[in-house]
C-alpha cells in the first residue's frame, strides 16, 4: 500500500460541527454519535427517543447531576471501550414494541387504522412556524384552511375563497392588506391542534364550525381566548360534544352578537347556561335553543 492506493480510496466528507468547551471524552463520544446519525438514519428507532410531548431542545433543561457517576471521578480509570457504551441504556420503545403481541383480529386492525388516520390528520394540522413567518398570521391561516377544504373571506371583499380541485387563489407572499374576516369550516375536520395555525386573527368576525364533530369544550375555551375581542358571529350547530360548561366559557367574548347552537343536546343545564350568557351580554342573541316555560326552569 503506497500513496497511490491511498488516493484511490473514495474520500467521504463528514460535516460535523463540534461545539466548543467539550472535554476530550465528550468530543469523542459526540463524534461517534454524529457518525451514527449520519450513516444510520434508518435505524433511528434504536436511538434513545424521548417518549413525551414535544419539547424543544433549546428549552429542555438538563437536570443537574449532583453526584458524578463513578467513572467520571478523579482517580478512576476507564478503558476506551467506555466511549462506545451508551450513556442511558437501551431505548424503552424498542422493548415495548418487541414485547407487544400484535393483534391481528379484524376489530384490532380497524381500530389501528382509525387511530393512525387520526394521528396522521392531527400531524397534518401541526403548527408550522415558517408558514407564519413568511406569510404573516392572516395569510398563513388562510392558506392552512383553504388547502384543507374550508372557505375564507377577507376584509373588504364579498367573495368566499374556496378550493377548486387542487387550486386556490391566494397570494404567496406577505401582504398586510389581506385580513381574514370570516371562516367557514365546511367539510374540513378541524382538530384542536390545528387551532394554533389560526392565531392572531385580529379582524375575525364570523366563524362557523357547523358539523365539525371534533369541537368540544376545549375548543370553545380556545376560541374565547383567541378571538375574545373581535368575534361577532359563532355557529356551532351539530357539534354534539359541546356541553353547558363550554357555553358558559364564552363569557369572555364581549362582542359576540349571534350564537347558533342548533341540535346540540338540549338539556336543562344547557338552556340555563344560554340564558345566563344572554344575561351578561345583552346584545347577544342565541339561536337554536328552545327554552321551556319559566315555571319549569329551576333556578
Partner 1 sequence: MFISTMFKAVNTFKCRKFIKVKFVNLYKNACFCTNKSEVSSSYEPPKPENPFKRTFRILGNDMKTAKNKVQSFITKVQGVREVTNKVPKSPYRDGVFPEHCDIAIIGGGAMGSSIAYWLKQRAPNAITVTVIEKDPSVNQNIVSWGQYVDASTVLSVGGLRQQFSLEENIRMSLFGAEFLRNIKQHLSVEGHDPPDVQFTPFGYLCLASEEGAQQLEENANLQKKLGAKNELLTPVKLKQKFPWINTDGIALGCHGLENEGWFDPWSLLYAFKTKALSLGVEYVDGEAVGFEFKKMPDMLTEGVEPGSYEAVEKVLVKTESGELRSIKFGFVIIAAGPHSARVAKMARIGTGEGMLSIPLPVEPRKRYVFCINCKNGPGLNTPLTIDPSGAYFRREGLAGNYICGRSPLPEEEPSVDNLDVDYDFFDKNVWPILAKRVPAFESVKVKSAWSGYYEYNTYDENGIVGPHPYYTNLYIATGFSGHVIYVSMLQEFNIHRLLVEASWK
Residues that bind partner 1 (CB under 8 A): 48, 50-53, 63, 67, 88-90, 92, 95-96, 99-100, 192, 217-218, 220-222, 224-225, 228, 243-246, 248-249, 251-252, 254, 269, 272-273, 276-277, 279-280, 298-299
In the complex with partner 1, the residue whose CB is nearer, 111 or 187, is 111
In the complex with partner 1, the residue whose CB is nearer, 121 or 155, is 121
Closest CA to 255 of 226, 284, 275, 277: 284
Q: How far is the CB of 138 from partner 1 (least distance, A)?
A: 19
Q: How far is the CB of 9 from partner 1 (least distance, A)?
A: 39
| Whether 264 contacts 238, CB under 8 Å | yes
In the complex with partner 1, the residue whose CB is nearer, 1 or 65, is 65
- CB atoms under 10 Å from CB of 12, counted, come to 7
Q: Where are the beta strands (DSSP E) in the chain?
A: 151-154, 180-184, 206-208, 233-235, 258-260, 285-287
Q: How far is the CB of 209 from partner 1 (least distance, A)?
A: 16
DSSP secondary structure letters along 13-70: -------SS--HHHHHHHHHHHHHHHH-GGGGGGS----SS---TTTPPPPP-SS--G
Place of cell 422493548: 95
Q: What is the spatial order of strands in the sheet that 285-287 belongs to?
A: 151-154, 180-184, 206-208, 233-235, 258-260, 285-287
In the complex with partner 1, the residue whose CB is nearer, 53 or 79, is 53
In the complex with partner 1, the residue whose CB is nearer, 21 or 99, is 99
Q: How far is the CB of 264 from partner 1 (least distance, A)?
A: 16
Q: How far is the CB of 168 from partner 1 (least distance, A)?
A: 30
Amino acid at each position: 500500500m503506497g500513496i497511490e492506493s491511498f488516493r484511490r480510496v473514495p474520500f467521504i466528507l463528514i460535516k460535523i460541527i463540534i461545539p466548543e468547551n467539550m472535554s476530550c471524552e465528550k468530543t469523542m463520544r459526540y463524534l461517534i454519535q454524529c457518525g451514527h446519525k449520519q450513516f444510520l438514519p434508518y435505524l433511528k428507532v434504536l436511538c434513545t427517543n424521548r417518549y413525551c410531548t414535544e419539547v424543544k431542545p433549546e428549552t429542555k433543561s438538563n437536570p443537574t447531576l449532583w453526584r458524578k457517576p463513578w467513572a467520571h471521578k478523579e482517580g478512576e480509570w476507564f478503558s476506551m471501550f467506555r466511549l462506545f457504551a451508551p450513556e442511558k441504556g437501551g431505548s424503552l420503545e424498542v422493548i415495548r414494541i418487541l414485547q407487544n403481541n400484535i393483534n391481528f383480529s379484524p376489530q384490532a386492525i380497524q381500530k389501528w387504522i382509525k387511530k393512525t388516520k387520526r394521528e396522521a390528520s392531527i400531524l397534518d394540522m401541526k403548527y408550522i412556524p415558517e408558514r407564519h413567518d413568511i406569510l404573516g398570521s392572516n395569510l398563513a391561516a388562510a392558506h392552512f384552511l383553504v388547502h384543507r377544504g374550508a372557505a375564507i373571506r377577507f376584509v373588504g371583499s364579498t367573495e368566499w375563497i374556496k378550493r377548486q380541485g387542487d387550486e386556490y387563489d391566494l397570494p404567496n407572499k406577505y401582504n398586510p392588506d389581506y385580513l381574514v374576516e370570516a371562516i367557514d369550516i365546511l367539510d374540513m375536520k378541524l382538530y384542536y391542534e390545528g387551532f394554533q395555525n389560526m392565531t392572531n386573527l385580529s379582524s375575525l368576525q364570523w366563524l362557523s364550525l357547523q358539523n365539525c364533530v371534533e369541537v368540544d369544550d376545549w375548543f370553545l375555551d380556545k376560541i374565547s381566548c383567541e378571538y375574545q375581542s373581535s368575534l361577532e358571529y359563532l355557529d356551532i350547530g351539530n357539534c354534539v360534544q359541546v356541553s353547558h360548561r363550554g357555553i358558559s366559557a364564552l363569557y369572555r367574548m364581549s362582542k359576540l352578537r349571534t350564537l347558533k347552537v342548533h341540535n346540540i343536546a338540549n338539556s336543562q343545564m344547557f338552556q340555563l347556561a344560554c340564558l345566563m350568557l344572554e344575561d351578561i351580554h345583552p346584545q347577544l342573541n342565541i339561536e337554536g335553543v328552545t327554552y321551556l316555560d319559566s315555571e319549569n326552569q329551576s333556578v
